[in-house]
Structure 1
Amino acid sequence: MGNSFPKDNVQNDPLLAVHHLQVHFPIRDGLLRRQVGAIRAVDDVTFAIARGETLALVGESGVGKTLLGRSILQLTQPTGGRVVFAGQDVTRPNPATLRTLRRQVHMLFQ
């Protein structure tokens, strides 16, 4: 009911594809707070998940696992790259698409 993503006609298309995703935070300094550098929290991440697959991100604390998930769900705006869900680019979605994305994609923490 309501908005839903179109069904893929091709079985081989990934359900979720992340292309060169980046999340950078500016480093500012000086009286005018000019950007003097950037923290590359997520830098050039690319992967695809097929229908029925599960992905687990494992790593040390502070390496960007949660930030990657937040940027896929558009809770944190990516600096660059693309996120494609069910064949639709959701990198800069309209409000209806964003609601649908967040209903259908979930993060689990352990």
Structure 2
Amino acid sequence: MAEPILEVKDLVKHYPLTQGVLFKKQVGAVKAVDGISFELAKGETLGIVGESGCGKSTLAKVLMNLERATSGQVLFKGEDISTLQGSALKAVRRNIQMVFQDPYTSLNPRMTVGDIIGEPFEIHPE
């Protein structure tokens, strides 16, 4: 197999459940993503499919560093994306594309599927 361009190692994202208004106390956690690991080589495509509420969008947000992981690592070209900021993070985000599960907000009905898939390559030809 080719050298992975994206490596995800034991990725976890939990949201705390709290109780109380003034003195909040954590009483549990929602386990949105719990121990995901995979590798993706250059040129490969990954589709994340599952029922509503299973953590697909949360996983995508953590992969883009839009949300911080509770634990685990996301490496893009060998670099931990959680340490990136500014232009370095922007450059990584340009190389990763998310298409969210709601087709009415993520897909333009005036474009063909081929045009939608090809659009990122027109914007970022490298």
1:15 aligns with 2:11: no
Q: Does 1:82 align with 2:73?
A: yes
The root-mean-square deviation of aligned C-alpha atoms, in Å, is 1.4
Give the fraction of aligned pairs with identical amino acids, expressed as a percent. Answer: 41
Matched pairs, number: 100
When normalised by structure 1's length, the TM-score is: 0.83
Give deviations 1:55-74, integer Å, cap 9, x for gaps.
11111111010110010001
1:39 Cα deviation after fit: 0.8
**1:45 aligned partner:** 36
CA distance in 2, matches of 1:108, 1:35: 33
Which entry has the higher C-alpha Rg, 1 or 2? 2
- Normalising by structure 2, we get a TM-score of 0.74
Q: CA deviation at 1:94?
A: 2.1
Which residue in the other structure is 1:4 paired with? Answer: none
Q: Which residue in 1 is equivalent to 2:85?
A: 94
Name the CA distance, whole Å, in 1 between partners of 2:7 and 2:38.
Answer: 6
Please identify runs of 4+ aligned residues in structure 1 that moved more than 2 A.
Answer: none
Between the aligned partners of 2:82 and 2:33, the Cα distance in structure 1 is 15
Gaps of 5+ in 1: 1-10
Aligned residue for 1:108? 99
Partners of 1:98 and 1:85 in 2: how far apart? 10
For residue 83 of structure 2, give the secondary structure of its aligned residue in structure 1.
coil
Q: Is the 8 A contact 1:20 1:82 kept in 2?
A: yes
Mapped to 2, the partners of 1:80 and 1:13 lie a distance apart of 24
SS in 2 for 1:60: coil
More helix by share: 2
